[in-house]
Structure 1
């Protein structure tokens, strides 16, 4: 299996790292190209042993998969630059936020196309990834896509319209959790902890809670910690009084709406 990464940013690097680390692909199976940053391409070549796409683009012509991993504003130029070099059997795997399959098809025709939304936890093999694909993607290609994406974390297959929600919950989600961690750390300091101790306690609390989430229902875990009239109950009551769930809901709604808007912008 050969794959060409079109775009060489942090997401592409995270996926390359996962593929090689899980031995899904060998470094020689992977090629990279981008618009102009040769230093970045050379870094990936030196760090991971992957290939740089040459001027003739032979690597692209022989690719089983082409990974689109650039900013939404660069998709049109990227697709126009490769559309004549793609094999009819190449699967397009896009991790570009918001840009729908139908927009990609305008430039590459009826090639098999998959859209995936990983998150930055792909760097440690813990991404929460949603994926949808066009009807041209065969069953065998679906299995191959699952293998590629599962090397960087968990995979959930959804319908394409649901990817806006996936983007909000999983794609943007880590940033919301980090923001919560920042707030907890600052509150710990305000209540007398040193910054170092507060960070240490927050990190371990998030780590332990994340592990516990794998084994029980979320509400059940919360109830087990929340003794009547105890400290946790007092904190939960404050969250409820301040409409915490409504705030989080609006946060997710706004992120999903922005994903939808990106799709409209680049159609």
Structure 2
């Protein structure tokens, strides 16, 4: 794709731009960013990444190979209505707008190649875990191109669009769960006399090390856990406490609530026609 136009300049738009420019996936002179409300941010992005900024005119949309919807969900309908007169028939759409289905987008922008991706905030450091879904108009070659572009911000896995609710609950919201875990580690460690700084360093490195073990090892998590858990030892005592306090049930409830909320928000937007 030669010309890419961003409608919106939020954190996810900047994460994509950062990854693409850093990895050389898209030349910065071929990236155009539109945002009405924050001209200072546009200028900063232009200075940082070398992208082109667009303030009021929508003419550049006529030249877009790909239009990226990166505005807030509440703003998407008005934005699409403003943009559709300029869209060409062969312009592809990539949406990072949470809770807005491709069917809803097609109702305004028409049937065209489209991808909807759910990254997480780790995209800003190139470490996102993203799920992406495509519509039936997207060719295999275009899918591959989208996948290549999205891999610049981390791991990306193709799923069915309905599965994006579970992806949102698991990896989209996942960083917050892990930050909450570190909060709990800090509170517990400090009760035993360790400083917050010491607990945080130990907790972060422990999580990073365990994650890397899962990436590099072919063994299942259950087996890796078993190797750490010596009979009658400290780890076994800790695991017993997790089991007694229904740790797995709590995690399931967490994912279940988040997945249900994602569906609820999508349903509200659909019923209100955005």
> Into which bin does the TM-score normalised by the smaller protein fall?
over 0.9
Alignment of 1:222 onto 2:225:
yes
User: Which residue matches 1:206?
Assistant: 207
- Output the aligned Cα RMSD: 1.1
Q: Is the 8 A contact 2:35 2:55 kept in 1?
A: no
Alpha-carbon offset, residue 54 of structure 1: 4.9
Structure 2 distance, partners of 1:218, 1:5, is 40
**SS of equivalent to 2:230:** coil
Alignment match of 2:252 (pick from 241, 249, 254): 249
Counterparts of 1:10-29 in structure 2 under 5 Å? 10-29=11-30
**SS of equivalent to 2:232:** coil
Alpha-carbon offset, residue 188 of structure 1: 0.8
User: Which residue matches 2:190?
Assistant: 189
Name the TM-score, length of structure 1 as normaliser.
0.97
Counterparts of 1:138-157 in structure 2 under 5 Å? 138-157=139-158
Alpha-carbon offset, residue 185 of structure 1: 1.4
Segments of structure 1 that go 5 or more residues without pairing to the other structure are: none
Q: Is the 8 A contact 2:4 2:65 kept in 1?
A: yes
Counterparts of 1:14-53 in structure 2 under 5 Å? 14-53=15-54
User: Which residue matches 2:104?
Assistant: 103
Alignment of 1:234 onto 2:240:
no
Segments of structure 2 that go 5 or more residues without pairing to the other structure are: none
Alignment of 1:167 onto 2:168:
yes
Q: Is the 8 A contact 2:5 2:68 kept in 1?
A: yes
Structure 2 distance, partners of 1:172, 1:215, is 24
Structure 2 distance, partners of 1:53, 1:223, is 56
Deviation string, structure 1 residues 21-70 (Cα, Å, up to 9, x no partner): 11001110111112421111111111111011253323211111111112
Moved more, 188-197 or 53-62: 53-62
User: Which residue matches 1:123?
Assistant: 124
Q: Is the 8 A contact 1:124 1:152 kept in 2?
A: yes
Structure 2 distance, partners of 1:169, 1:222, is 21
Q: Is the 8 A contact 1:53 1:60 kept in 2?
A: no
The alignment of Structure 1 onto Structure 2 pairs a total of residues equal to: 267
Alpha-carbon offset, residue 75 of structure 1: 1.3
Structure 2 distance, partners of 1:61, 1:220, is 55
Structure 2 distance, partners of 1:221, 1:95, is 35
Q: Is the 8 A contact 1:42 1:52 kept in 2?
A: yes
Q: Is the 8 A contact 2:106 2:112 kept in 1?
A: yes
Structure 1 distance, partners of 2:253, 2:159, is 22
Alpha-carbon offset, residue 169 of structure 1: 0.6
Structure 1 distance, partners of 2:21, 2:148, is 12
**SS of equivalent to 2:216:** coil
**SS of equivalent to 1:213:** helix
Name the TM-score, length of structure 2 as normaliser.
0.94
